[in-house]
Structure 1
Amino acid sequence: MNYYQLTPDVILDALLSVDIEVDSGLMALNSYENRVYRFKSEKEGSLVVKFYRPERWSLQQIQEEHDFLFAAAQAGVRVVAPITRQQSSVFVYQNMLFAVWPAVSGRQLESDNLEQLEAFGEQIGRLHEVGANFKLAHRPQMRTQDYLLRSREVLQEKALIPKKLRKDFFKHLDSVIERSCELYQPKKQLTIHCDSHGSNVLWNEGPWLLDFDDCRRGPAVQDLWMMQSGTRQEQLMQLDALLAGYESIREFDNSELALIEPLRAMRIINYMAWLANRWSDPAFVLNFPWFNTQEYWQQQIGVLSEQRQSLDAEPLSLTSWN
């Protein structure tokens, strides 16, 4: 079966293979790495099915994601655990791996709402209480080797950077990579969500943490910093709210605040490489038409230049703010 041409009939047959019948819906959701659809089943209500991109995660790695969700849900964290059939939550149809979850409704968390940020921080604290003791045997850690050095290789090989911009681009890229590798020295890693930005959180009488596709071992601050935005003063207020919720559950090591800018650099560079690596997928060409244009790469030179300055700036500190 061609993953890039996943038809409705194949989706319906895959769901029927695990005794789930689609009664209405089958609406594609905003996901590019995997293929995700929402639908209604008369027996089980609103559901979401995810077909995993081939060769990204192994069966064992996907199972670890699910096992982390089961452990977190059992501990009272506001996550949604996948549906099981015959004691399995990862299913196979025509060599494709897929899973099904109960659908969650709600609105996007408001990053400028300090009460919501505090509630989010509390849920991340609860998640990390589980993650501190949840070992991963198959999933990777957050490493500069993968996020930075390997990403550079992908950009060198696959990115369509105009010839006249390549020298300047890689000069700025290498400077950011070198400084980020110096600064990214986490003391401790635990099992985290790893991609907890606003689009992966829904608010419905509290925050629901969604989409654990990227979960792995990493520093605690990785699950907090992406909720910050705006001026430095605004970020400090947001950080204060996030940590108030987090530390109502578990202690946060303030030295990890120095990891925020290298983590941001890792995200920026890994995102560019992700787009370059997936450019053969028709869905990426359709949904990211601005990528691989001269204007895009010119903008990225500016982004890297600004990030290099941020890496040398004083890290956020609530001690100096308060």
Structure 2
Amino acid sequence: MPFADLEPAFILDAVESLGLRCDGRVLALNSYENRVYRLGMEDGPPLVAKFYRPGRWHDEAIAEEHAFALELAAAELPSVAPLAFAGSTLHHRDGHRFALFPLHGGRAPEVGDRDTLRQLGRLLARLHNVGERAAFRHRGSIGPESHGERPVAWLLEHGWLPPELEDNFAALADTLLDAIAACIERAGAVRTLRLHGDCHLGNILWRGEQAHFVDLDDCLTGPAVQDLWMLAGQGEGARRAWAWLLEGYGEFREFNLAELHLVEPLRSLRLLHHNAWIARRWQDPAFPAAFPWFAGPRHWEEVLARMQEQLAALREPPPVPA
């Protein structure tokens, strides 16, 4: 188990090895991929300790995450950047790697509100202006192979589909990937840049009428629309949400409307990638506890239904901002 030895005493010892003094309070925060804790400090406000999942990223990739967060903070973007101790933001203790962050509270933004979506659009445009200044060397890119073909192959190879659904899943996945490729072709050549990568509402904290971006653990290279589509939603109201997001975005950066052809491909890839991610982590006790329905046949029937819905969406014109 990757975090089996991550007991409170170990956590406190690791943090105090940096010269800090904890007051003994350790509160686990909501996190699956890594382990994140709020720590009380004797001489200052609480800090957040993030312990990285062993084997997921190598040190160079984590260093790029931290450097990007610090670059965003230097550009006065409201993001939560790691703290440096003895000139380093990544620390090692008995086989674990961890980083410390300031504690930022807040709530999820109200994305049905025009002013909120315009602000998020402005902030993401500024984030992308920073993102295009340089390129990642050690982090991945989002695309059909990494987020579609490989997850599908892994699920099938490791027997996650009920036997009676395997053939249907494999055939539907092939059709879905072909439709994704067709949409990408229609979009044409688009610029890629460094992105937040996982810009959903859980990674945005709203405090004092200001949004703060948190958790760059999935930062990667891809098209700008990857950081926008999850905020626009789906179905009724999405066209209006797109209009408000892009209204704000356009104040700081031009948006290539051809990237709207990528919205449903990216949604489809997230569906495939997300299911493979849970399956890959199933031996971590946090995952069966958080997703108890995942291993049942009903879930996979629902996945097939969602894949069918996505196939229909991929064949429709892209969203047009209202």
TM > 0.5 between the two? yes
Aligned to 2:223: 219
Aligned to 1:252: 255
Shift of 1:183: 2.1
Q: 1:270 to 1:2 in 2, by over 3 A?
A: closer
TM-score (norm 1): 0.95
Aligned to 1:208: 212
1:291 matched to 2:290? The reply is: no
- CA distance, structure 1, for counterparts of residue 72 and residue 234 of structure 2: 31
SS at match of 1:37: strand
Q: Which runs of 5+ in 2 are unaligned?
A: none
SS at match of 1:196: coil
Shift of 1:71: 0.7
Shift of 1:47: 1.2
SS at match of 1:290: coil
1:277 matched to 2:287? The reply is: no
1:316 matched to 2:289? The reply is: no
Alignment of 1:300-311 (within 5 A): 300-311=303-314
Shift of 1:55: 1.0
Shift of 1:30: 1.1
Asked whether the equivalents of residues 14 and 93 of structure 2 are also in contact (C-alpha less than 8 Å), the reply is yes
- CA distance, structure 2, for counterparts of residue 5 and residue 184 of structure 1: 45
Aligned to 1:193: 196
Q: 1:240 to 1:60 in 2, by over 3 A?
A: same
Shift of 1:3: 2.1
SS at match of 1:107: coil
Aligned to 2:25: 25
Asked whether the equivalents of residues 191 and 217 of structure 1 are also in contact (C-alpha less than 8 Å), the reply is yes
Asked whether the equivalents of residues 282 and 288 of structure 2 are also in contact (C-alpha less than 8 Å), the reply is yes
Asked whether the equivalents of residues 154 and 276 of structure 1 are also in contact (C-alpha less than 8 Å), the reply is no
SS at match of 1:3: coil
- CA distance, structure 1, for counterparts of residue 173 and residue 98 of structure 2: 36
Equivalent AA in structure 2 for residue 22 of structure 1: C
Asked whether the equivalents of residues 68 and 134 of structure 1 are also in contact (C-alpha less than 8 Å), the reply is no
Asked whether the equivalents of residues 38 and 48 of structure 1 are also in contact (C-alpha less than 8 Å), the reply is yes
Alignment of 1:38-187 (within 5 A): 38-184=38-184, 187=190
Asked whether the equivalents of residues 205 and 212 of structure 2 are also in contact (C-alpha less than 8 Å), the reply is yes
Shift of 1:5: 3.7
- CA distance, structure 1, for counterparts of residue 25 and residue 238 of structure 2: 40
Residue-by-residue CA offset, 1:10-40 (whole Å, 9 max, x unaligned): 1111101112222253211111000011122
- Deviation larger for 207-216 or 23-32: 23-32
- Deviation larger for 23-32 or 85-94: 23-32
Shift of 1:297: 0.6
Q: 1:264 to 1:159 in 2, by over 3 A?
A: farther
Asked whether the equivalents of residues 49 and 100 of structure 1 are also in contact (C-alpha less than 8 Å), the reply is yes
Equivalent AA in structure 2 for residue 251 of structure 1: E
Asked whether the equivalents of residues 194 and 220 of structure 2 are also in contact (C-alpha less than 8 Å), the reply is yes
Residue-by-residue CA offset, 1:210-242 (whole Å, 9 max, x unaligned): 10000011100100110122534x111111111
TM-score (norm 2): 0.95
- CA distance, structure 2, for counterparts of residue 154 and residue 102 of structure 1: 37
CA RMSD of aligned residues (A): 1.4
- CA distance, structure 1, for counterparts of residue 193 and residue 312 of structure 2: 29
SS at match of 1:32: coil
Q: 1:282 to 1:159 in 2, by over 3 A?
A: farther
Q: 1:190 to 1:289 in 2, by over 3 A?
A: same
Asked whether the equivalents of residues 48 and 103 of structure 2 are also in contact (C-alpha less than 8 Å), the reply is yes
Asked whether the equivalents of residues 156 and 166 of structure 2 are also in contact (C-alpha less than 8 Å), the reply is no
- Deviation larger for 171-180 or 66-75: 171-180
Identity of aligned residues (%): 37
- CA distance, structure 2, for counterparts of residue 139 and residue 231 of structure 1: 32
Asked whether the equivalents of residues 142 and 221 of structure 2 are also in contact (C-alpha less than 8 Å), the reply is yes
Equivalent AA in structure 1 for residue 305 of structure 2: G
Q: 1:159 to 1:289 in 2, by over 3 A?
A: farther
SS at match of 1:207: strand
- CA distance, structure 1, for counterparts of residue 5 and residue 167 of structure 2: 38
- CA distance, structure 2, for counterparts of residue 308 and residue 107 of structure 1: 34
Equivalent AA in structure 1 for residue 107 of structure 2: R
Asked whether the equivalents of residues 12 and 24 of structure 2 are also in contact (C-alpha less than 8 Å), the reply is no
